[in-house]
Structure 1
Amino acid sequence: MNAVRLLPLLPLIAALTGCAGGTEPAAGQIVPNVSPAPTITLEEPPAAVDAPAPDVAIPTGPAKLAAALKKTTTELYAGIDGWVDSGKARPPQHVVLLALHHQRIYRTLARDSALTASVVRRLPRDMAVEARANTTAVGKLLAMARPITAAQRKKIRLATPLPAGRLRGYMLRAERRFGVEWEVLAAIMLVETRFGRITSSSSTGAQGPMQFMPGTWRAYGMGGDVHDARDAIAAAANYLKASGAPKDYRRAVFAYNHDTRYVDAVLAHAEQIKRDPRSFYAYYNWQIFVLSGRGTAKEDVRLTGPR
């Protein structure tokens, strides 16, 4: 069963990686259908929140970087608590900005293991555990990623994702039906399409927010629409169950994408969501980046998010 790969999304973050099984083509291959980055209407932040600008410089020294990560994570999770409690579908602006800064810090750390170790030593225990999970996941996906050209970037079709609460509801429904943990489904959707922000098909024809190849979809899609998030999430749970979940998640996720780095990344993110469900909402607000080929995080190209 094949389901594809575009770019390992997370840290590369741009685009899809592979899904529903099989041997995928080299990461970084994208196909047509140009569309501008979507415009999202955001709630205004409370006056007390001083969220970082979208492209503000990331600190370089361990002490300053640890302080920035601690402050950003604390404020982000407080913002997520307020957002979820408010019942509003779309995230407030300060949550989007804080999540982007959070993501950019991890993209920086994931490229430097010595810096990561020095930063982690300076963090409170729970935050240190989270930092190890995130740098592991982002680092694994960066290792899978390849730079893409400006011409390829123009072919990536983008969309505004469905509300986080609705997607989580679809995942919980799939968990009840198939016994596959919703956190694993969330981690796969994060890696594959950034929760549906990428709508392009892969270079081999994988489609939809969970990136299914046509043959795999026919076998596990249960007659649904591959582009419909509810149907695609249920199909992913169906496929993972048939591939060994929940007894053996490593085997099941490997069936989804035959790369152990992908498996490590997905399971690291899933475990973090289990430790703190607010991480799901943080990841939901992580944006799409692609590698420019120059090698540093600050030279990566961001395709979505606030400007």
Structure 2
Amino acid sequence: MRPLLAALVAVAVLLGTAGCSDDEPAAEERTSEHARSEKGKTDKKPRAETRPSESRPSEPRPSAPPLTTTFVPAASPRELAERLTTAEDLARDDSTADDVRQAAAFEAQLLYRQLGRTPEWERTARAAVPDRYRADLDAHLTARHSLRSVLTTLSDELPAWEIVEPAPTADLLRFYREGERVHGVRWELLAAINLVETGFGKIRGLSTAGAQGPMQFIPSTWAAYGEGDIDDPHDAILGAANYLAANGGDTGTISGAGVENALYRYNNHGGYVAGILSYASILERDPRVLGELVRWQILYLSTIGDLWLPIGYRETAPVPVRVYVRQHPERHLGTVTD
């Protein structure tokens, strides 16, 4: 089989690529290695919340054709670096056709995960990528290793989830920037949390127990810091900004003791804090990466490896992973040890 991008890149080269804005719905990942602990509570009084003045999300436009994959893992660190560079170039270029851009983002996501499982390749791959992507590669690997440390056990069942289209990237960015303006919490931190918690709102849990919404609030925390609809991306992002600010995250920076304390209160694990800071650093260097990350797919790390849950996946009860793979073998995209 050919790598995921090969056919799409050939089409793009032959036909030219039409520009497509980040306003369109995209695709993205769940860092589901990330085990959820109950969000920390605080004794501080909730801040008086300024009611959002910006518009609600616009109606999503029709999405690109359904994404499929013929992903083949890289055979060497140099091949991985070459494919990753091509994927990153395409995913960040506004002139790339949207279907190619989605495939490029998925290819990059899968290659970062493969490299994260192959630490003996990291040094060679890092040396082989261009300087412009080296810091981002380091941050992706730090995020993967850090978030993986949060999870102590892997599941042999897929959760009762529905995977849906996210809000348009332009709307999400506007909500993050509103959170920064109103509460002093950098937008990159809000975006990184939204990515790690629910893949920018793609994951909808079908259970009413536990954390809820695109920023994963437990009801008691939402009652103190949220306003509006816990499932609405605008309201949830503003609630998260309010919560982080109340816990010292309103420093106007993406690092420092106040930010780290606020993130730790959000999820009580050092690996979670490091993962969020790493993704935020990528967005700080190049805000265009937000569109790429929103295009990432939901990948669930199970006892048998990475399983792709595409847009449209919906199960109201847990599904054994081996049953899922028998039904959808093409969605088994990496073992735990490869």
TM-score, normalised relative to structure 1? 0.77
Q: Where do 1:260-279 residues align within 5 Å? A: 260-279=270-289
Distance 1:98 1:148 in 2: 29
Match of 1:101? 107
Shift of 1:11: 3.7
1:225 is matched with which residue: 211, 229, 236? 229
Partner deviation per Cα, 1:255-298 (whole Å, 9 max, x = no partner): 1000000000000000110000111111111111112313xxxx
Partner of 2:78: 63
Contact 2:197–2:214 at 8 Å: present in 1 too? yes
Gaps of 5+ in 1: 1-8, 23-39, 45-51, 84-90
Aligned length: 258
Residue 300 of structure 1 aligns to a residue whose secondary structure is strand
CA contact (8 A) 1:201 1:208 kept: no
Alignment of 1:82-231 (within 5 A): 82=95, 92-145=98-151, 146-150=153-157, 152-153=158-159, 155-200=160-205, 205-221=210-226, 223-231=227-235
Deviation at 1:305, TM superposition (A): 5.2
Deviation at 1:204, TM superposition (A): 5.0
Are the aligned partners of 1:148 and 1:290 in contact in 2 as well (CA < 8 Å)? no
Q: Which amino acid aligns with 1:125?
A: D
Whole-Å Cα distance in 1 between the matches of residues 35 and 117 of structure 2?
20
Bigger radius of gyration among the two: 2
Q: Check whether the contact 1:76–1:98 (CA below 8 A) recurs between aligned residues.
A: yes
Residue identity (%): 33
Take 2:208 and 2:172, find their aligned partners in 1: how far apart are those partners? 26
Give yes or no for contact 1:66–1:123 (8 Å, CA) kept in 2: yes
CA distance in 2, matches of 1:176, 1:12: 30
Please give the root-mean-square deviation of Cα atoms over the aligned residues, in Å. 2.4
Secondary structure of the corresponding residue to residue 161 of structure 2: coil
Q: CA deviation at 1:203?
A: 8.2
Q: Would the alpha carbon gap of residues 65 and 260 (structure 1) be closer, same or farther in structure 2, given more than 3 Å must change?
A: same
Shift of 1:112: 2.2
Higher strand share: 2
Structure 2: distance between partners of 1:197 and 1:288: 8
Q: Deviations over 1:98-135 (max 9, x none)?
A: 11111000111112222112100111222111100011
Q: TM-score, normalised by structure 2?
A: 0.70
